[in-house]
Amino acid sequence: MLSGLDHLVVTVTDISRAVDFYSRVLGLDVRYRDAQRVDLMLGDTALRLHQTDTDIAPISATPTPGSLDLCLRCQLPLNEFKQHLDALAIDVELGPVARQGATGPIESIYLRDPDGNLLEICRPSSR
């Protein structure tokens, strides 16, 4: 019946700050749909940004910046990705650590976006 994820809405306090972080730090492509609607592309899936003080409907019952816990797959080895984060002075909260992903064992690094959302960056592991 269902075949995948089209987009996930991320509630943020400042669209431009979120765009800067997700494009500069995570390398996501930015697509502006209009002044209040921005998509950050992950292949054919989008992280759709909604700013808290905009009037976009319908929305979730309690849209709250900083409530997202999202795991993103990384193509680079995690030590290279961590070097990228270090060069940008982005704090790593935890990792690399062994975890279980949707399709098997993964190794993960945890960090936060400007709104405090927890981002897990993972890569398949061989454990």
Instruction: Tell me which residues are annotated as active site.
Output: 120
Q: Distance between CA atoms of 57 and 113, rounded to whole angstroms?
A: 24
CB 36 within 8 A of CB 75: no
d(CA 20, CA 23): 5
Q: Which of 14, 71, 15 is nearest to 39 (CA)?
A: 15
Alpha helices by DSSP H, the chain: 15-20, 78-87
From the CB of residue 85, how many other CB atoms can be counted at a distance below 10 Å? 16
Tokens of 35: 């002044």
